[in-house]
Amino acid sequence: MKAVILAGGYGKRLRPLTEKIPKNLIPILNKPLIEWQISWLKNQGIREFVLLIGYLGDKLQEHLGDGSKYGVSIEYSREVVPLGTGGALFNAYDLLKDEDNFIMINGDIITNLNIKPLTSIEPEYVGALALVPLPSPYGIIRVNSENRIEAFIEKPLIKDYWINAGVYFLRNDIFKYLPEKGDIERTAFPKLANEKKLKAVKYFDVKWKSIDTHKDLEEATKMLEELEGKL
């Protein structure tokens, strides 16, 4: 099975870091984000990768090469103009047309979740999305019925609400739903949800972080230190 990594974004909120290197090459614990992702998926049996590149894609391709130095193979699909997440995948059809299914991930996440539950969905589904509990951006205060403060809880997970973790299992039929330009989250996924062909797979006790800001980089570093660099 191949893994597709969305790696074409501008990373505007991470400037000036992303003025000279793509977001995926930003180091976290002295290792580029993209290498953490490759290691995580390789440890789960993935050996073939397709990178959807755009902004500063040459630097990413130069750094990773054909993947042999990581013990994997890497192919590239380049977008000349921004196509969105759905359009970028549509643009890579020739590299994926012979695949019955594949994993696709956002290029700005770090997680240790196990992809196997995603790949075990029933045949009627075109795809499955990994969901994680909504992380609160703030610490909260727990009080009792008398409004006596009992505890301070730092940025808890809000387990009544779920968010898209940016990790997908997709069958080849997804190409029937993709736009030539546009985001998969706003085009194909709503159509599939309306047709009841999209499965949710909830992950309760996993580490997960999306890297969008400088603060996210700090939090991702702490998370990886807690995991001792093992994804």
User: E strands, 113-187, where?
Assistant: 127-135, 140-143, 149-153, 157-171
155 included as an active-site residue? yes
Exposed, middle or buried: residue 84 (CB in 10 Å: 0-12, 13-18, 19+)? buried
Given 155, 159, 202, 222, the catalytic residue: 155
**Cα torsion for 137, 113, 50, 7, to the nearest 10°?**
10
Length of the chain: 231
For residues 180 and 115, is the Cβ–Cβ distance under 8 A? Answer: no
Paired sense of beta strands 48-53 and 2-7, if any: parallel
Catalytic residues: 155
